Chain A
Amino acid sequence: MGASKDLWVFIETKTDNTPKNVGLELLNPGKRLAAEQGGKLVAVVIAEDTSIAAKAAGDYGADSVITIEGPEYKHYSTDAHTAAFTYLIEKYDPLTVMIGATGNGRDLAPRISGRIGTGLTADCTELSIDEQTGCIAWTRPAFGGNIMAVIFCANHRPQMGTIRPGVFKKPASQPKDIEIIKESFSFDPNKIRTRIVEIMEEVGEKVDLEGAEIIVTGGRGLGDAAGFDLIRSFAASIGATVGASRATVEEGWISHAHQVGQTGKSVAPKVYIACGVSGATQHVAGMSSSETIIAINKDPNAWIFNLADYGIVGDLYEVIPLLEKELKAKLKA
């Protein structure tokens, strides 16, 4: 039997067994790359109950699904997930493995790559296949987003990468029944060397920045916590989600769940409106893949204007109400 040319996508699940967006997003580039590689697109689900995620993987374009199920996989643990995933890789020998660069994904992937002894490219934002070598050309930002690097893993299998959430769009969903391979692999819960003591979910609103089509972000230029009232009301009127720079989170004006950037969420909405944000590299690292960027800043030299498709130089407290009024006038006309 020749070595497999399959491409695997990890469908990470939440504790309620539903899939996180990023795994489904990866089926999009995965489909194209698997075809170019001459293999199948295979989804991998490791969860307490894999049925929901396995079904979603089929609907969103996977050719087949491999599952491992058990109560020990309800809550993510480095030990159980690494053992289960490595077991599958060793059994099936895929050519490529893609994992979403979520908190858990970036905990898991290096551990697997270390156990297998293969290369791993971190936090990719572009994927293609190099024509000459047939390798995946993993492209990723480094130096806080100042440069992009193209990375190959030519002599080791599988070639592995983590991919930033929000960069690729979920494919269209088409109900489809696909082959589900149920593997059994259990991991003794007593051998899990970490123990959950307490889960403290962010109280109040859940912020789905990754799934948002429009984001209005407030920066230190707001001046105080009350400034977010303006941001919230503008966001509500155009159906946007509220984002924040780290400066505002550190000031305690808004919760960390809203933060965009290297130490916050990575987002790629259709429209990103940055108000009173300077455009520091760590902020840009989390939003530069947005389709259209609009900046409002009183400093004409603010770096954010270099990324912006549209912008207004001015005081955001004057500009936002004016812009809202003008948009209303034009859209309701």
Chain B
Amino acid sequence: MKAFEYAAPRRESELAGLFSGRPGATAVLAGGTDLVGLMKKMIVAPDRVVNIKEIASLYGISADSAGVTVGAVTRLDEMLDSADLDAFPAVKQAIRGINSMQLQSQGTIGGELCQRPRCWYFRNGCGLPTELGRMVERGDNRYHAIFGNRGPAKYVSASRIAPALVALGASVRIVGPASGEAVEGPPKNGAPVAQDGNALGEAIMPLADFFVTPRAPHQGETVLDPDQIVTHIHIPRDEQIASATYEVRQSEGPEYPLAAAAAALRIEAGVVTEARIVLGQVAPVPWVSEAAAAAIVGQAVTPESARAAGEAAVARATPLSQNRYKVQLARVSVERAILQAAGLETGGF
């Protein structure tokens, strides 16, 4: 690990000036379960580490009629324990699936969403994404992307909770140096908006737009600029939405699933009237499948309709040289997430 400066702000406002806009110069420390390992391997070697866990406003879970807001440094086990999140089984199932008390009681939701790719070429020191893309393409890509993998980024988005949150229509609040004027609606690339002459600004955007597929060096896996952080996640409340996360996990360990899917369904009079199906571990971003949603909308959830939605989800998959099997697993994930959301047996383990 390289020697670094350490900052531990207590208030959001103290973040101003702590971050450098230069990529890699500063790192956000939340639970540290991912960052510290990367720093030890010197894959990340910041000059300054900013611990955001002491910022009280970033911590905790609050609920109102519109939905539930989770602070970015809230720990995963606290989310599991929160009755406010019972309305979102997909989220709790994803957290439970992490299967590691240590990660659940140290990892934070912000860190979970922002964790770096697990790709072994990346973790063995190949930069993102160009060189990496070539290595993955010709190399061992058994755990890599089967969607959205035409560009240099062929790793899979690591977050396990993101598919559920995206399916549930969650949004993120981002804070960083103020720039530009206030605009209507969510800003395009997450540029925080100045507030009352503060040095910091905020932006709120759908989580679905938060993740991006980098095309060039120094583009991250999210819209975040090096001087921005996630402060809150908001999940809108909708009593009629049934949700589930299904992950294909080989073991009970904290290994990442081989494929996963989250389903959020509005079921009225036995028929699905609205659906969001989001696949995990199959693309550089949580992969929203419009095709799967279209296949299940207008249908009653049955083993057959769920299977058809699974097939629709993978119809346009583009597996790499070694990961064709993931297409099958992605199909099954979608099928089982839908069945599980509707409270039906999945037929497998």
- A and B associate in one complex: no
Residues of chain B at the chain A interface (Cβ within 8 Å): none
